[in-house]
Structure 1
Amino acid sequence: MRLATVSENCRSFASKTGMVSCWSDPISGSSGQPLGVVTLYRGQAGEPNELDMGRLRYASHLSAIAIERKRIEEQMQHQASYDNLTGLPNRRLFRDRLHEEIGKAARNGESLALLFIDLDRFKEVNDTMGHEIGDLLLVEAAQRIRAGIRETDTVARLGGDEFIAILPRVDDMSHLGRVAQNIVNAMTKPFSLDKHTVYVSTSIGIAAYPFDTDTADA
């Protein structure tokens, strides 16, 4: 495209570098979806030659391969570390973060706590209303748990109806009871799921480092 029709960023770059013309080639994915643009700048006016255009098209092709490969790698990494249903960290990522947080707490002389959260009557919901409603319940429950703790805390789904939260830098252990009670209260409110109203309750266990144990496995 001509310099006069490119974006403001392109014009700014051309002005700063002394370029007077540019041409672009779209970066397209394997299924034709747009991924970006490769731009060729020239220091002189006039049409680019065939060699320049060949290089531009080749750069566009290589860019498409690199972008799609990166996206696939990121997708695989996400699937390996996050629960597909709720989007929360899975058991694997939870263990990594727990070891990391215990290491930080040990170095800094701090405390941390775990909340083990189990939904009561979840099996009954699955058996009577079906797994689709059960999945919707898990998604909504995950959101309520997430809303009940700090942004810096980690909530993970261990599997089934079991969730766990890592609360680092806990200065006042008496505060944990209030946090747990807030989550319990949030779970007692009715769940509106696809024209169904579901009621469940929640059981929460609490463990603290280093008061209850000093290892991640314990």
Structure 2
Amino acid sequence: MTPEKLYDRSVHNMFSINMVWVLIAGFLVMFMQAGFMLVEVGLCRAKNGAHTAAMNLMIYPLGCIAFWAYGFAIGWGNWFNGPVAPGWYSALGPGTSILNEGIGIGGDPAAPGIFTYGLMGTKGFFLNGMDDVSVLALFFFMMVFMDTTATIPTGAMAERWSWKNFCLYGLWVALPYCLFANWVWGGGWLAQAGKNWGLGHG
């Protein structure tokens, strides 16, 4: 076997192992939902236990729909569109470079479309054209994190809000989360704004 083929195989194995790890980590984050549900049901009155458990179970489908429809595009639609690629790029492979359109400010006139400070992504609504496995692994991992983050306020508002308001919240929550995620993890303006102590690189 030539050194070039050996190198190609090792790179392929690295991407495969990283994707398996991303999926395992995503499943573990998803299982945090069970812990949130047990804590919240245990802290509310018995008559509201079923309502609280239903909220914890429904945040995933509602959040997943919102993240699929618009959240992923806003958060990671210009993911590779900055002066420095986020740390995820080297881990999941070159297929993620298809996420390369967004809205931003600053940049080099010689390289139009590459922003110094990204604001939001514009590619990937409804996962349109996203058939690369690395993009789908990134979608899953970030979706479960967004849904877990969306669950935290349900504990504070248990017994205090209606089912309709909760459903609206579940569909809305992807907007602020994904905007901020784009600024920090998507190579946006906060990721480029001076020192971040090793945080926000993905």
Q: TM exceeds 0.5? A: no
The structure where helix makes up a greater share of residues is 2
TM-score, with length taken from structure 1: 0.26
The structure where strand makes up a greater share of residues is 1
TM-score, with length taken from structure 2: 0.28
